[in-house]
Structure 1
């Protein structure tokens, strides 16, 4: 995919905030001394009076966001996923989730593709932590177009929303006239009859590439992009499982509590199906170049292809 345009979804987040800021005067952006990294700095340049740098105090930032939301405005609280979902978990749960306040959490640098920052900064548990909070919407966009659409949709959605973005530039795969983003609705990217592969975030374009390789070997693969992990598109997941009989989930997250667990929860109740979960296998990440880590943890196209081929 070297010839395809690549953009980091954190870049998309910053640009989408500026677009929204021009449309809505009630939008306020908060950051925890990471505006250059989370790309909220572009919003600050255009709307300096509507940007609040809370310093390296993520828990405090979440409570400030809660207060701003209670006052009737729409805050986007931004920091690394490890700090948003990890360090500030109690404040997100009790200060935002419990009163169901209209706070949007922009969590960047998620997953092992953070790279050299290592295990302490590589959030591979954040989806699990956020999806268990009652009323929390959880979105993990696959590319620039989807990320921008997700930010706009989050603004329009009442209540707390967790938006998961990455550091690594990823291929733009949704650049087509018929693309439509809708919270809670998955997108079928490729039809197939032998197997369904359900993917999210950075792993979606890699999954597509793996599926086309499997197709060359006579294995027909249906590929679904699940950008909204909560609420999950249960209807689509159940329908695909019944059509193909086998399901694989792929995510740059622990196989415990993330997309794979959400899919298994749905299928075990409605359509018991054999499922393989591809992701980080109950272990921490490590320091190293992002692409090398994705290769080692078999979350690139080659690794996904290898695991699926071995399983079937």
Structure 2
């Protein structure tokens, strides 16, 4: 009898994985721990999820406050409808799921049940943009475009662990519905080096520079700062403007920073090139009559491949090395 030879199963390192680079400082589950701290001050906070507490770090809250945690099962529309109902009774639900399910599957419930009645629901959605390698079924590359169209909905896209921790307190203090892109697991820590403090509705200039202004949100601010250091070899002086609140947009700061003569403006976002931060900034500048040289670094308007995150980030132009090469080409 011949022996049966089995091949080792091929695996990938970054299907649902941390976006942290090798050796980078991280904080474990900043959202979960920040929510516990905020819940101690606000007894009306409840945590809700659609069978994804472990993968949104809400399990940490559930362990601390089991009587304030609600597992709704794999039913995102029910999750949003129930969150709206709880908000009507004076509670403040933090509803978590993956961004694709919150936006594509439960959009009408967010629009009609939560936003139209301006209910105090905080939707915290994991795996935003290209932060998973599972392909189009799990990659929320158009979530901001969808949510920007909902009247009265605040949209937040934190950069790192510090941003996430501070944003939780800020959105809890805000009266009204919020959609926050959620970084989960071991989240990089970078903004503590830049004297940073999150303020809802405010953009922050992290570094100034005369040649290029990168306007960014979410993980792309981390990449922009890495690119800034790489280009400091004499290639370019780069300014980085972090925009953690996509809606309402800090138009005054953006207009002021884009009015510097001779500076290339680059908007970098972990989102489709359609309907996100780049188009919001472009519209703002056109309305204000400000016309700098303008470029976008964003995900293409297509269904993206599955695979390991580092490979995908290189392929779609949002890795640090890709950003550096692209900016050098634009400046040449």
TM-score after normalising by structure 1:
0.95
What CA distance in whole angstroms lies between the structure 1 residues aligned with 2:27 and 2:224? Answer: 18
User: Please, which runs of 5 or more residues in structure 1 have no aligned partner?
Assistant: none
Worse overlay, 87-96 or 274-283:
274-283
Of residues 278, 284, 289, the one that matches 1:260 is 278
Of residues 243, 254, 266, the one that matches 1:237 is 254
Of residues 25, 30, 33, the one that matches 1:5 is 25
Q: CA RMSD in A?
A: 1.5
Of residues 200, 205, 222, the one that matches 1:188 is 205
Q: CA offsets per residue over residues 88-126 of structure 1, 9 Å max, x none?
A: 0010011111111111001011111212x2111000000
Note if 1:284 corresponds to 2:303. Answer: yes
Of residues 97, 100, 124, the one that matches 1:79 is 97
Note if 1:154 corresponds to 2:174. Answer: no
User: Please, which runs of 5 or more residues in structure 2 have no aligned partner?
Assistant: 1-20
| Cα displacement (A) at 1:53 | 0.5
What CA distance in whole angstroms lies between the structure 1 residues aligned with 2:276 and 2:252? Answer: 18
TM-score after normalising by structure 2:
0.89
What CA distance in whole angstroms lies between the structure 2 residues aligned with 1:161 and 1:24? Answer: 17
Kindly report which structure 2 residues correspond to 1:90-239, keeping only aligned pairs within 5 A, or say none: 90-115=108-133, 117-167=134-184, 169-176=186-193, 178-239=195-256
| Cα displacement (A) at 1:34 | 0.5
Of residues 257, 260, 268, the one that matches 1:250 is 268
Residues 113 and 294 of structure 1 are in contact (CA less than 8 Å); yes or no, is this contact kept in structure 2? no
| Cα displacement (A) at 1:2 | 3.8
Residues 111 and 166 of structure 1 are in contact (CA less than 8 Å); yes or no, is this contact kept in structure 2? no
What CA distance in whole angstroms lies between the structure 2 residues aligned with 1:212 and 1:280? Answer: 23
Worse overlay, 141-150 or 179-188:
179-188
| Cα displacement (A) at 1:178 | 3.4
* 3-state secondary structure, aligned to 1:216: coil
Residues 113 and 291 of structure 1 are in contact (CA less than 8 Å); yes or no, is this contact kept in structure 2? no
What CA distance in whole angstroms lies between the structure 2 residues aligned with 1:17 and 1:49? Answer: 15
* 3-state secondary structure, aligned to 1:41: helix
- Which one has a bigger Cα radius of gyration? 2
The size of the alignment, in residue pairs, is 309
What CA distance in whole angstroms lies between the structure 2 residues aligned with 1:278 and 1:300? Answer: 10
| 2:313 corresponding residue in structure 1 | 294
Residues 214 and 220 of structure 1 are in contact (CA less than 8 Å); yes or no, is this contact kept in structure 2? yes
| Cα displacement (A) at 1:167 | 4.8
* 3-state secondary structure, aligned to 2:313: helix
| Cα displacement (A) at 1:171 | 2.9
Residues 246 and 274 of structure 1 are in contact (CA less than 8 Å); yes or no, is this contact kept in structure 2? yes
What CA distance in whole angstroms lies between the structure 2 residues aligned with 1:27 and 1:168? Answer: 22
